[in-house]
């Protein structure tokens, strides 16, 4: 089942308020320029994770998504749990959404 924007937003929120706030600041601090909105970033990350095939593995669960500002972009790292193996792993950090 493919990841959705809503699932990515929820995973960012599970990482803690600071991660969601970093994503909001990435958008608002650029004023009067316009960085992608938090919803745009969540949608883009859902598509990126789907393209990587991570949504196709029923044993993987998206635990949280960590966001840090690295002006002029954001860096996002997703934490997955492999339920079959009982382990967690992080995706390689992705920097983008300028």
pLDDT of 33: 85
Q: What share of the chain is helix, strand, coil (3-state, %, to 5)?
A: 40, 30, 30
Please, what are the averages of pLDDT over each run of 10 residues along the chain (98 residues)?
96 97 94 91 98 96 97 96 97 97
Q: Which domain holds residue 41?
A: 5-96
pLDDT of 69: 96
* Total domains present in the chain: 1
d(CA 16, CA 12): 7
**Dihedral, CA of residue 16, residue 17, residue 20 and residue 22, to nearest 10:** -110
């Amino acid at each position: 089942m493919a990841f959705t924007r809503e699932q990515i937003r929820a995973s960012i929120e599970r990482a803690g308020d600071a991660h969601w706030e970093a994503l909001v600041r990435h958008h608002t601090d650029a004023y009067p320029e316009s960085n992608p909105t938090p919803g745009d970033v969540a949608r883009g990350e859902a598509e990126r994770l789907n393209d990587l095939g991570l949504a196709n593995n029923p044993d993987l669960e998206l635990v949280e998504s960590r966001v840090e500002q690295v002006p002029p972009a954001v860096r996002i790292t997703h934490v997955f749990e492999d339920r079959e193996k009982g382990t967690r792993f992080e995706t390689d950090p992705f920097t983008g959404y300028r």
